[in-house]
Amino acid sequence: MSNDNKEESFISHLEALRQTIIQCLISLCVTLPIGIILAPKSLNILTKHLIGGNKLQFNYFSPMEVFIIQIKIALLISFVIAFPYIVQKIWEFILPALYENEKKFIKSNVLMSLALFVFGNLFCYFFIIPLIVKFGLSFTTAQINPVFSISNIINLTLGLCVVFGLMFQIPLVIRSLINRGIISYNSIKDKRPYVVVILLIIAGFLTPPDIVSQLMLFVPTYLLFELGLLTSKKHQKEIKEE
C-alpha cells in the first residue's frame, strides 16, 4: 500500500471515529432531559434505601450540593438509557478491523461482561452499601451522633457501584486470558498468594480507608477469581475431550 493510500485510510478511520464520538455524545444529550426529570425521584428512592430501618437523616452543607448530586444522577441515568446505542456505535466502528475469530470472541463475551457489571452494581447497592451505613452507625454513642452528608454518601454509593461492576469482570478476564493462551491455568493457579496481595492492594486503593469496605470488596472479588479459574479448567477439559 502506498503512503498516499495509507494516509487516506488513516484519515478515514479518524473521520469514522469522530462520527462515532459525535453520535454517542448526541445520544447522551437526547437522553439527558429524561435523566433530569427522573433524578429527583431517583434520589429519593436511593436515600430511602440507604436509610432503611435506621434512625438516620442526610444533611447537605451548601446551597448547590443537592442540585449537583441530581445532575450526577441525571448523567448516570442518561448514560444507562443511551448505553445500548453507544455500544452499537462502538461495535460498528471496530467491527471492520477485526478478524472472524476476534468477532466471535467479543460477541461471546460482551453480554456476559454486561451481566457481570450489572450484577456487581446490584450486589453493591443491595448488600454492601447498607452494611457500610450500619457499620458507620455502630459508632453512635450518647456523646457521638452521626451526621451524614448527602453528597458523601451518594458519591460513595455511585463510586462503589462502579468499582464492584468493574471488579466483577475478573472471572471473564481470567477465563479469556487462559482460554486464549496468554497465560496458563497452572501458572496462575500457583500464584494465588500473589493474587491475594494484589487484590488487597486494589481493594485498599479503590475503597474508602476502612477495613470493612476493603474486605467487602476483596472477599467477593477473590471468590470471583476462583470462579474464573474453575470455568477455565472446565473449558480446557472440554477442549481436550473433543
* Calculated CA dihedral for residues 41, 46, 51, 56, nearest 10 degrees: -60
8 Å CB contact between 62 and 150? no
Question: CB neighbours of 116 closer than 8 A, spacing ≥ 6?
Answer: 165, 168, 169, 171, 172
Compute CA 229 distance to the chain's CA centroid, rounded to the nearest angstrom: 21
Q: Each residue of 41-94: pLDDT tens digit?
A: 999 998 888 887 777 888 888 889 999 999 999 998 998 888 888 877 887 777
Average pLDDT, the chain: 81
Average pLDDT of 86-112? 73
Q: Each residue of 116-134: pLDDT tens digit?
A: 888 888 888 888 888 888 8
pLDDT of 8 strictly over 70: no
For residue 127 the three cell numbers come to 448488600
Show me where the domains of the chain are located.
Answer: 1-97, 122-144+151-242
Q: Each residue of 151-174: pLDDT tens digit?
A: 888 888 888 888 888 888 887 777
Q: Each residue of 194-204: pLDDT tens digit?
A: 888 888 888 77
pLDDT of 5 strictly over 70: no
Query: What is the reported pLDDT for 208?
Result: 67
Residue with cell 486494589: 202
